[in-house]
Amino acid sequence: MNTGGAPRLDQLTGLRFIAALLVFLSHVPWPSAPDWLQTMLAQGFVGVSFFFVLSGFVLSHSYTGRITGGEMSYARFMALRLARLSPLHLATALPYVLVGIWRNNLTAPVALLNLTFLQSWVPDSTYYFSLNAPSWSLSNEMFFYLCFFPLCFVAAPRRWLMTALLGLTVVACAVYAVAHYNSVILLGERTVGHWVFYIFPGFRLLEFLAGMALYDLWQRGVRLPRAALPLAWGLLFAAMFVADSVPEAFRMSLFFLPVVTLLLWVHLDRSRAICGVLSGRTMVLLGEASFAFYMIHQPAIRICSRLVGELPYRDLLVGASAFALSLVGSLLLFLYFERPAERSLKGWVNRRATAQRHPAE
């Protein structure tokens, strides 16, 4: 994990691939799997929660000192984050734009909101799942980035209070939604609860704030005992096993938030054996390519589903072939497009910032 001048926590990079894999598994159809396994695999969206919590932690680890110390302006920070997300977002959206134009079923508002990272603010699944559907989470990330810079100047206790108040607000809204609007569909094909509690950036900010709060605790030397590692993984699988019985408003993020935060926390100690595996060269490379893996896995599943057709063991063939395609494709995209494009854009941003601080005389 590249954290600028901060100490590297490569095990978190490896863990990113596990999170992306969970999301992948949740999107592959598994009709021949046992019911209990289908239930667990369907909860793979928990990987998105992990990404949001991790984002709050990593940005705090990488940028807090530079921002509060006056080394990083708001404009430069946002330009660097755009350099991180934009190349892959635009590259994976382009095929959908071209196909939409060819089929004449893509409207300008849908395309514009998606390409400008605003789709998650519209409570209509035809907007927030437009073009390359996983890109909805990038809309949330961009909102988190906008919030992060000012949050760096808020004292930790006040940020914890903000997190607690937002958490109570989300819980209260979830209780109300379960009682009155649990199955209501107003726009698109998804329920109101799906947008409010899974998509809406304002509520998903809670996970980002949890990551920032975790960083504050970690900086203060608060550590968990070794026994917490198997406990965290056990709780994750147990939560995935029973999640189907949890109302949607709670299941989509609130239910998994404590488990995900605990899972990240226990992996901050590099002395643990599993952290050594996760920080190995192979897992770090896979983790670095996990953004590309996440962004291309749904198109890969669709392609492989069509190619496999109705062959025996269809779900296993689709899963295996889509995984291979996503894995190879993500590595190629990362090595030969995403990383070079990001480095080039970030280099330009940093050179421009340097030139503005030290204009030629």
- Find the DSSP H helices in the chain: 10-27, 35-42, 46-68, 74-103, 108-115, 125-128, 136-151, 156-180, 192-194, 201-219, 228-242, 248-251, 257-266, 273-278, 281-288, 290-308, 314-333, 339-357
Question: Amino acid identity, residue 95?
Answer: P
Dihedrals phi, psi of 36, to nearest 5 degrees: -65, -35
* CA-based nearest residue to 292, from 329, 347, 242: 329
Please, what are the averages of pLDDT over each run of 10 residues along the chain (361 residues)? 65 95 95 89 96 98 95 96 98 96 94 98 95 97 98 94 95 86 74 90 97 96 89 96 92 94 90 78 96 98 91 88 98 98 96 77 49
Amino acid 271: pLDDT: 66
> Tokens 């199955």 label which residue?
183
Amino acid 355: pLDDT: 82
Rounded to whole angstroms, the Cα distance separating 169 from 165 reads 6
Amino acid 358: pLDDT: 67
Amino acid 338: pLDDT: 98
Rounded to whole angstroms, the Cα distance separating 340 from 169 reads 42
Query: Which residues in 155-175 are b (16+ Cβ under 10 Å) and which e?
Result: eeeebbebbeebbeebeebbe
Cβ-in-10-Å burial (0-12, 13-18, 19+) of 97 comes to middle
Rounded to whole angstroms, what are the CA distances from 200 to 83, 118, 252, 322? 23, 11, 11, 29
Joined tokens for residue 46 = 């928990």
Rounded to whole angstroms, the Cα distance separating 236 from 274 reads 16
For CA atoms 247, 147, 87, 332, the dihedral sign is negative
Name the pTM for this structure: 0.94
Contacts of residues 221-230 at CB distance under 8 Å and 24 or more positions apart, as own/partner, are 223/268, 223/269, 224/262, 224/265, 224/266, 224/269, 226/269, 226/272, 228/262, 228/265, 228/266, 229/266, 229/267, 229/272, 229/274
How many Cβ atoms are within 10 Å of 344's Cβ, its own excluded? 12
According to DSSP, residue 123 is labeled: S
Query: Which residues in 118-151 are b (16+ Cβ under 10 Å) and which e?
Result: bbbbbbbbebbbbbbbbbbbbbbbbbbbbbbbeb
